[in-house]
Amino acid sequence: MKYITFENGDKLPMLGLGTWKSAPGEVYQAVLWALEAGYRHIDCAAVYKNEKEVGDALTKAFKDGLVKREDVFVTSKLWNNAHERDQVQVGFNQTLADLQLEYLDLYLIHWPVALRSHVMFPEKGADFLDHAAAPLSETWAGMEALKKEGKVRHIGVSNFNQSKLEEILASCEIKPEMNQIELHPYLPQQKLVSFCRSHQINVTAYSPLGSADRPSARKKANDPVLMQEQVFQEIADKHGKTVAQILIAWSLHRDVAVIPKSVNKDRIIQNLESADIRLDGSDMEAMSNLKTKHRYIDGTFFTEVPGSPYAQSDLWEKA
Ligand code: A2P
């Protein structure tokens, strides 16, 4: 297993279990299977609506001696409706209570988009807080306070483009240590990854398998299916591995952490075994230079809401 080492020496196992789309009835068992298989990194978020069950699984694993708290790296994310300075602590406390933990290893601002505190998903302009009402610098100050209080060991962001990162870097006391973004061969985001690296911001890949199980509201009729790309099958056959394993290995070879989601025991085990795959230069080149380019999680569910104060340029730089 490869690790990211933070400035203070903490280590993040680069392959973790994703829990977005894992139903409350399935995620408990999935987390236990993952810990039994050897995963030591679990990625969570308040908006996944399953943190209580993840917490139940962690509690059981600690109680049974399967793993010690200090040996598991747990990440969660602040939802968009808790961006106001005094709400950051509220959102964090709920996550900590649901996960049944004393501290988090990593806490991320989920999106650079703010909603009113009673809104989970926006339907109209009035559901949002605009940049002036909820400046990112204020949200980040709340994150810094959590770190200073020792409630989180590391803080970072998710779905931040270069200009949003620059906004934080310009006013922060503590630099973001992670940017979690959609990354796979249809969306390599080399420029953003390089920018993060140049500022010692680590990178985690979400949707590394193309999130085929994303909700129908996140699907468009002609979205390409990542896992069906012929090139991956050829490389998988060459190595005697599966396409999913090759995709996970591709992120690891870029020194990017990766969090494939599965609630299936065999796949959970199979995905972890990707850590041992050695892709060669020609594999990496073939996978990184595909004609098809696609972003699955495009943020239009925030930017195309009538009256939204957020534009696509708040989320993604033009390719
Ligand atoms: P399941 O949970 O039933 O295993 P992503 O991580 O990009 O969001 O992708 C998650 C999707 O990929 C889920 O539908 C998940 O299904 C599926 N998946 C996870 N691991 C594998 C695998 N090894 N082979 C095929 N599909 C997988």
CATH number for 299: 3.20.20.100
Q: How far apart are CA 112 and CA 201, in angstroms?
A: 16
pLDDT of residue 217: 82
- Residue 202 token pair: 């680590």
- Flag whether 315 is in a domain: no
pLDDT band for position 190 (cuts 50, 70, 90): very high
Nearest CA to ligand 1 atom 21: 267
- Flag whether 116 is in a domain: yes
48 is a catalytic site residue: yes
pLDDT of residue 319: 55
- Flag whether 83 is in a domain: yes
Q: How far apart are CA 307 and CA 286, in angstroms?
A: 42
Measure CA 131 to chain center: 23
CB atoms within 10 A of CB 227: 14
- Flag whether 89 is in a domain: yes
What average pLDDT does this structure show over 274-288? 96
Nearest to 116 by CA among 106, 125, 128: 128
pLDDT of residue 131: 94
Nearest to 106 by CA among 159, 20, 180, 21: 180
35-44, 116-125, 133-142, 310-319: least confidently modelled range = 310-319
CA of 213 to the centre of ligand 1 (A): 8
Q: Is 126 exposed, middle or buried (0-12, 13-18, 19+ CB in 10 A)?
A: exposed
CA of 211 to the centre of ligand 1 (A): 7
CA of 236 to the centre of ligand 1 (A): 16
- Residue 282 token pair: 């020609």
- Flag whether 317 is in a domain: no
Residue 234 pLDDT > 80: yes
Q: Which residue among 28, 48, 186, 296 is the active-site one?
A: 48
CA of 263 to the centre of ligand 1 (A): 8
Q: How far apart are CA 4 and CA 9, in angstroms?
A: 9
pLDDT of residue 221: 85
pLDDT tens per residue, range 165-180: 999 999 999 999 999 9
Q: Is 29 exposed, middle or buried (0-12, 13-18, 19+ CB in 10 A)?
A: middle
Residue 317 pLDDT > 80: yes
Nearest CA to ligand 1 atom 14: 213
pLDDT tens per residue, range 239-248: 999 999 999 9
CB of residue 76 inside a 6 A radius of ligand 1: no
% of the chain residues with pLDDT over 70? 99
pLDDT band for position 47 (cuts 50, 70, 90): very high
Ligand 1 pocket test: pick from 20, 42, 209, 258 the residue with the most ligand atoms within 8 Å of its Cβ: 209
- Flag whether 99 is in a domain: yes
CB of residue 269 inside a 6 A radius of ligand 1: no
Residue 81's domain spans which residues?
A: 3-310
- Flag whether 268 is in a domain: yes
pLDDT tens per residue, range 52-94: 999 999 999 999 999 999 999 999 999 999 999 999 999 999 9
4-18, 141-155, 218-232: least confidently modelled range = 218-232
pLDDT of residue 216: 86
- Flag whether 209 is in a domain: yes
- Residue 177 token pair: 């240590």
pLDDT of residue 178: 98
pLDDT band for position 203 (cuts 50, 70, 90): very high
The average confidence (pLDDT) of the chain is 96
Residue 187 pLDDT > 80: yes
Q: Degrees (nearest 5) of the Cα angle 30, 92, 122?
A: 85
Helix count and strand count (H, E) for the chain: 11, 12
CB of residue 81 inside a 6 A radius of ligand 1: no
Q: Degrees (nearest 5) of the Cα angle 69, 72, 74?
A: 100
Number of domains in the chain: 1
Query: Distances in Å between the alpha carbon of 304 and those of 79, 96, 179, 203, 250?
Result: 19, 32, 24, 27, 32
Residue 134 pLDDT > 60: yes
